[in-house]
Amino acid sequence: MKIVILGAPGAGKGTQAGLLAGRLGIPTISTGNLLRAAMQQGTELGAQVKDAMDAGRLVPDEMIIQLVRRRLEEEDCQAGYILDGFPRTLAQAQALGGFAQIDAALSIEVGDEEIERRMEGRRICPACQTTYHTESNPPKKEGVCDKCGGLLVTRRDDTRAVVENRLHIYHEETEPVKEYYRRQGLLAAVRGQDKLADTTQRVFEALRISL
Ligand code: ADP
Ligand code: ZN
């Protein structure tokens, strides 16, 4: 299965993508993580994307489209994948349609105020990219990653001003992508719930996958 996950930054895309991927035995391809990895490895691409990411702007379409297209050609993606964070613009959605046949687009809907509240508590493990939340999804030991023992940090682009910018871009650039998939009959939308497990249940129901 090839599934696209849409939703505002902080809507819980990454978490639900991970659960779906685990259930279906296919990888999650997260463009945010691909870009952060490129930055950490100090590649030329990484240097180019740093300013855009820190400011909460999107990186150029051609760059991200090429990155994703290459990644999807790899062996582990042949049986399917969950795309988290791509497509984020209409141009990206159209490009993806040219090299992949998507089975479903799942939109996780969360209001702006709730997003701003959530982002303040968001933490990430720089070593393995797992995300946590101080209230809704805390690690067993405060500040430490359950999976690898890494020390959790706040992402540089999770500050208030940057979050507002990212929300603005989401409404302008990414919401039209929902319409694109709706017209193709591929859109499933669920409202993000306060409790992670409640959202998960709705996500699996919407995609008709048993938990
Ligand atoms: P979130 O999980 O909060 O939605 P991501 O980790 O997916 O955030 O993305 C972080 C940043 O990476 C974005 O703000 C943007 O700068 C860049 N980015 C990620 N995916 C894309 C994309 N498909 N197109 C352009 N830029 C992207
Ligand atoms: Zn970790």
Provide the terminal-to-terminal Cα distance of the chain, rounded to the nearest Å: 16
* Active site (annotated) includes residue 122: yes
Low-confidence residues of the chain, pLDDT below 70?
none
Q: What is the pLDDT of residue 211?
A: 81
CA nearest ligand 1 atom 1, residue: 9
Q: Which of 13, 36, 123, 202 is catalytic?
A: 13
Q: Any idea what the Cα angle at residue 53 is, between residues 44 and 71, rounded to 5°?
A: 60
Report the C-alpha dihedral over residues 111, 171, 121, 161, rounded to 10 degrees: -130
Element (H, E) at 108: strand 104-109
Q: pLDDT above 90 covers what percent of the chain?
A: 74
- Cβ of 110 closer than 6 Å to ligand 1, yes or no, is no
- For residue 140, indicate whether it is catalytic: no
**pLDDT for 29-62, tens place per residue?**
999 999 998 888 888 888 889 888 888 889 999 9
Reported as a single tens digit per residue, the pLDDT across 82-96 is: 999 999 999 999 999
Please give the Cα distance from 175 to 179 (Å, whole number): 7
Report how far residue 88's alpha carbon sits from residue 95's, in angstroms, rounded to the nearest whole number.
11
> Is residue 155 annotated as a catalytic residue, yes or no?
yes
- Report residue 174 as tokens: 């990414």
CB of 29 shorter than 6 A to ligand 1: no
